[in-house]
Amino acid sequence: MKEERFYAASAVLNDQMCVAGGRVGHNIYLSVELYNPVVNTWTYIPPMKIKRCHHALVSYNGRLYTFGGYDGLNPLNSMVSFDPRKGKWKSLKPMNERRYGFCAVVYNDEIYAIGGRKLRSVKRYNIRTNTWTNVSSLNHVRYGSCACVVNGKIYVIGGGDEELNTTIEAYDGTINEWKIETNMKTPRYDASVVAL
């Protein structure tokens, strides 16, 4: 990449990898980089409106959505969307609560913000109506966890708060319920996961 980053967020946008925000030392970034694997190059796209680390970034229907995180002084609840055709970031409805160190996925055409520092709550964003609603809360606080969607369920892995977690929870949207599915052998924090 062009810049060193940690606590950044990533997503795939139109077959390219996007990395947004993050920090090095006390510097928190606005910048967003896009990796094109065909030509093996990183390029900048327009920066976000607010610098963020510990935030979420998802891609849906050819757009990026980034939300929450930490700006160096405060946790954030704001959300913005990037349309590559227009080359601009647009402000959207903020979350009802500030959160950072959380994970997010797109599930059933909606965006889910899951857990975070001292949080078990889960919020769902409806892209069509630009609204946030509550869904069932996690069984455990999940700070620094990761998530993916497999076989019609959201799986949230690891994280914790006072203690690191080995549990994996699964969310079934048809019954709006989280269940503990299994345990890992090793607790994990600030890990990442992908569905293959």
Compute CA distances 150 → 11, 107, 164, whole Å.
Answer: 17, 10, 23
- According to the model, what pLDDT value does residue 162 have? 78
pLDDT tens digits in sequence order for the chain, 196 residues long: 999 999 999 999 999 999 999 999 889 999 999 999 999 999 999 999 999 999 999 999 999 999 999 999 999 999 999 999 999 999 999 999 999 999 999 999 999 999 999 999 999 999 999 999 999 999 999 999 999 999 999 999 999 887 888 999 999 999 999 999 999 999 888 888 888 8
Q: Kindly report, residue by residue over 83-122, the tens digit of the pLDDT.
A: 999 999 999 999 999 999 999 999 999 999 999 999 999 9
Residue 110, C-beta contacts closer than 8 angstroms, at least 6 positions apart:
124, 125, 126, 127
Q: Kindly list the domain boundaries of the chain, sorted by start residue.
A: 1-99, 101-196
- According to the model, what pLDDT value does residue 55 have? 98
For residues 171 and 148, what is the distance between their CA atoms, to the nearest angstrom? 11
CATH number of 1-99: 2.40.10
Provide φ and ψ at 22, rounded to 5°. Answer: 100, -175
